[in-house]
Structure 1
Amino acid sequence: MLIAASALLILFAWFAGPRRFVEAVLLTRSALDPIFNLTKVGGLEDMGVGAAVNLAVLVVAVACVATRPRVRPGPTAILWLPLLLVCLVSSRFAPDPGAAIRLVMLLATHAAFCLLAFYFVRDLADLRRFLLIIVAGSIAPTLYAGLQLALGWAEFGEDGTRVYSSFPHPNIYAFYLMTILAVVLTLLTGKGSAKASGKGFVLSPRLRRALVLYVPVLLGLILLTKTRSAWAGAGLILLTHGLLFDRRTLLYFLSLPVALLAVPELAERLADLQQGNTMDAYEKLNSYAFRMLLWQGAMTWFWERPLFGWGLSSFGHYVAQFFPLPLENDTIDSHSVYVQFLFETGVIGFLAYLWLYVRVITLTGKLILRGERWAWMILAMTVGYLSMAYSDNMLYYLVPTWYMWFVLGGACAVLGQRRAVHRRRPVALPA
């Protein structure tokens, strides 16, 4: 099934073109997890049509590098090669090489989406088109989330109602919604009347109204995921847009704490952090106290191998040996990207991961200095992601991370085009 599905997807990319293939993935992938889960066979976690899409993305990215020499893969290589090389080397001494290689391939698909943005985003008009495709792709998950709420399907374990739409977990959906919120507000940064640098994206009045009306829908769904880190990330995005572009957005920012206090179920999520901070009993630990205990145990092992770590994807393998509380199936993920990289790849891998975002933030800053004020929203989205990475398993959140890296790659590609235009400008000779 995997080989057949991959072959069909690659044939589609061959006949329709890689650009149409990427557009189709951006438009549909966010809604397809429930379907792909039905195709997983043999008990292997990732061996279904979803894995075929991942493979096709990698093949298309390699084909673009091989057949389009005018676009240099250098910017993406500078970003991603250090981390990918460290992870590949780390997988050689991992306790579960199969899981380690799967994680390397997962990270490679993130890099591929960043690379593909460089090939297909040539200017603000291209970036606008892809951002609108990403927003259009969110409509089906939004409708499905509404159906979940209407039919009472949004019950998620002991936490009560937590909307998760077409995603496996509410936290994953929350990050996706945060990304879509950032994309929508990025599109709304301009005045809609000019294409000139720094004035944002051209939108028709009808489209602008639709996007404005979509913002409260996204915010409502973010609240109903009950993901606290996403609340903080969304607040940062709203605050950035409100202070720099449209003061009316501050009303949403100010209404968030009101909603959190006024709705009992949401208030309980905040109140949970005020209790269960001692290890008297496992049931009484709140989620953050549980994480802190987990990270403390991991750090005691980290200092035994601080440089290179214990091997990629090793956290779940060793966690039962350093965590003092009982675990389901004797394993659990790190719930922190930073702790995971420190434990599994040591300081070397941790610095390689930080390099990704230091470089992205630097490039985004250059966009802002060149007058592209919409890049402030890209910066806010990146910082929001980094804040969520502190307390969540963001490395495994495949679909929303694809969208985020395509947006980041597209923004960096616009900067590259601005530089190229600047270099091509004729120099005026003195009279």
Structure 2
Amino acid sequence: MHKFFDWIINPNSIAVAVVALMAVMVGSAMPIYVGLMGAKISNLLIPPILLIFVICLALDRKKIIIAVILFRSAGDVFLETTKTSFGGVSIGIGAIINLVVLLIAFLLVVEKPKLFPKKLALFWLPFLLMALFSVANAPVKIEAIRFYLTFLSYFAIFIIAIYLVRTPQDFNKLIRLVVWSSVLPALYALVDIGLHMRGGAFRLQGTFSHPNILAFYLVLVITLSLYLLKTRLFPLKTLGRLSVTLNMIIMIGMLLLTQTRSAWVACFLIFFMYALFFERKYFLYLLITPIFVLLIPSVRDRLVNLDSSNEVYQYAELNSFSWRISLWESALGWMETLKYLAGYGLESFKFHSRTFFLKAGATNWGAHNIYVQLFFEMGILGLLAFLSLFANISNYLRRIIKIEPLAFFILLSLIAEYLVVAFSDNTLAYLVFNWYMWVAIGAGCSVIMLQSEENNG
């Protein structure tokens, strides 16, 4: 009897039970699902893929998450085609992957609760609680719940990275994994260029759902590539250096083709700060590079367009700074004073945008500014919770300076990149970009935790 009780409370048994329960639920729901969703091939693929994930969860969860990290960057181009609207909610294979990530994080914590980073989780708690409160306050609950689950997936991937990194070597391997996740997007970019590049109006989108998301992902990969090339802890061999350097050059070329100006600025600032603190010779590269870049007509036109179009009357001006200023002023001017504290609820900016923004037309616009969006949707409390998350994480990462100063610079650069581009884009909703960023930051935090354990031990 005691053996049976011990088996019941064993974390591995709980994990197996959860996976088995999911398999039963998926199998039982199949007849109903087919009847509701119809015979569309992409719809019929969802249950078998979910079952495959369930089976893999029982076999090796670590390999699943490694596969997700390696291939998720190339997923949107396919996953978008599997989406189906059901009850007002878009359901697809992408949603299944998100669910799997949440489940893997849960199972890892259940199996090894002692490894759960309580202090780091507390950094996330205020923001997640405010977001949860904003769900209850939201005008469209279904969309708010979907957005909240997206936030939870960021936290989940952060926790998973901590569980994956158990040695400094694991940190290096995970960073390499994120960098090599760019191979498939780079190959597909050739297809995108061949099919759609027709003059200066072309913006490279690749495997992502929007050029901006690709651009921010590319800056992240370029930054991590710089770390791999310059770290002294785990130096690359000759072939590895050549491969990473070539990939980095390709990423920079792709970044220019996205025509995302805020990403260009973020990338330039990262190399500028690296030159300032580590290698002054990079200042020479930074002086020479813009000269060649400005010879590219599409890049030059994109930079000139920043100041040339101050009238807001058509979709072509979507990315102009003046358009954003007009949108932000309209939103903040429309807000009631009583809503300054906790806002109008998650996803309320889009919901109300056609009311407060006279130039919205028939489109429900996003804020194109995370700080304005959070203030509008979650109030000053939500905005402060968001900023405190990054402030606390940044302060915690200072401890990695003693282990590897370059790692601190790189990880802090990722945070700075995020906070910079957040001024002009909807980065909080860019799931793939957020996943890769939090994987890298979680991996760095885990290295610090391991060092603390060694010192205390």
TM-score (norm. length: structure 2): 0.85
User: Which deviates further from its counterpart, 338-347 or 30-39?
Assistant: 30-39
- Decide whether aligned partners of structure 1 residues 227 and 99 sit closer, same or farther in structure 2, where only a CA change above 3 A counts: same
3-state DSSP of counterpart to 2:390: helix
- Residues 14, 350 of structure 1: alpha-carbon distance in 2 compared, 3 angstrom cutoff: same
Residue of structure 2 aligned with 1:214, choices 247, 253, 261: 247
Give the match for residue 186 of structure 1. 227
Say which SS state the counterpart of residue 262 (structure 1) adopts.
Answer: coil
- Cα distance, 1:69 vs structure 2: 2.2
Per-residue Cα deviation, 1:306-334 (whole angstroms, up to 9, x for no partner): 0000111100111111112142x341111
Give 1:359-398 correspondences, 5 Å limit.
359-369=392-402, 371-398=404-431
After superposition, give the CA deviation of every residue in 1:113-155 in whole Å (9 maximum; x if it has no partner): 0000111112220011111111221101001112222x24246
Is 1:37 equivalent to 2:80 in the alignment? yes
1:104 aligns with 2:145: no
Q: Which amino acid aligns with 2:69?
A: L
Q: CA deviation at 1:75?
A: 3.5
| Per-residue Cα deviation, 1:181-220 (whole angstroms, up to 9, x for no partner) | 11111112223xxxxxxxx323222102211222221111
Q: Are 1:315 and 2:349 matched, yes or no?
A: yes
- The 5-angstrom pairing of residues 326-405 of structure 1 reads 326-327=360-361, 329-369=362-402, 371-405=404-438
In structure 2, relative to structure 1, the CA distance for the partners of 1:246 and 1:6 (3 Å cut) is farther
The answer to whether the 8 Å contact 1:301/1:343 transfers is no
Q: Report how far residue 226 of structure 1 moved.
A: 0.3
Counterpart of 1:297 in structure 2: which amino acid? S
Amino acid at match of 1:223: L
Distance 1:371 1:128, change over 3 A: closer
Alpha carbon RMSD of aligned pairs, Å?
A: 2.1
Contact 1:233 1:381 in 2 (8 A): no
Contact 2:310 2:320 in 1 (8 A): no
| Counterparts of 2:282 and 2:244, CA distance in 1 | 13
| 1:51 is aligned to 2:109 | no
Q: Distance in 2 between matches of 1:296 and 1:79?
A: 31
SS of the residue corresponding to residue 114 of structure 2 reads coil
Distance 1:244 1:374, change over 3 A: farther
Distance 1:405 1:416 in 2: 16
Please identify, of 305-314 and 44-53, the stretch whose mean Cα deviation from structure 2 is larger. 44-53
Structure 2 residue matching 1:167: 3-state secondary structure: coil
**Counterpart code for 1:316:** K
Q: Tell which deviates more after alignment, 207-216 or 352-361.
A: 207-216
Tell me, in whole angstroms, the C-alpha distance in 2 between the residues paired with 1:161 and 1:232: 20
Matched letter for residue 227 of structure 2: T
Partners of 1:330 and 1:404 in 2: CA distance: 30
Distance 1:132 1:52, change over 3 A: same
Using a 3 Å threshold, how does the CA distance of structure 1 residues 127 and 155 change in structure 2: closer, same or farther?
farther
- Deviation, 1:9, is 1.2
Q: Note the C-alpha offset of 1:263.
A: 1.3
Amino acid at match of 1:301: W
In the superposition, relative to structure 1, how do residues 139 and 368 fare at CA in structure 2: closer, same or farther (>3 Å)?
Answer: same
Contact 1:10 / 1:59 at 8 angstroms: preserved in 2? no
| Alignment correspondent of 1:138 | 182
CA deviations over 1:255-314 (Å, ceiling 9, x no partner): 4422442111111111112222255x4578561100000000111133521000011110
TM-score, reference length from structure 1: 0.90
2:420 counterpart SS class: helix
Work out whether residues 145 and 164 of structure 1, in 8 Å CA contact, stay in contact via their aligned partners in 2: yes
From the superposition, tell whether residues 112 and 99 of structure 1 become closer, same or farther in structure 2 (CA, over 3 Å).
Answer: same
Q: For the residues of structure 2 that align with 1:170 and 1:283, how far apart are their CA atoms?
A: 16
Secondary structure at the residue paired with 2:222? helix
Alignment of 1:19-418 (within 5 A): 19-42=62-85, 46-149=90-193, 151-154=194-197, 160-191=201-232, 200-247=233-280, 249-278=282-311, 281-282=313-314, 287-304=320-337, 305-327=339-361, 329-369=362-402, 371-418=404-451
Letter in 1 for 2:112: R
CA–CA distance in 1 between the matches of 2:228 and 2:282? 14
Secondary structure at the counterpart of residue 42 of structure 1:
strand
Which residue number in structure 2 is paired with residue 429 of structure 1? none
Structure 2, unmatched stretches of 5+, are 1-43
Which consecutive unaligned segments of at least 5 residues does structure 1 have?
A: 192-199, 425-431
Q: Which amino acid aligns with 2:92?
A: G
Instruction: Say which SS state the counterpart of residue 340 (structure 2) adopts.
Output: coil
1:31 deviation in Å?
0.7
The question of whether the paired residues in 1 share the 8 Å contact of 2:227 and 2:406 is answered with no
Question: Given residue 207 of structure 2, which amino acid in structure 1 is its aligned partner?
Answer: S
Aligned mates of 1:136, 1:388 — CA distance in 2: 23
> Shift of residue 368 of structure 1?
1.9
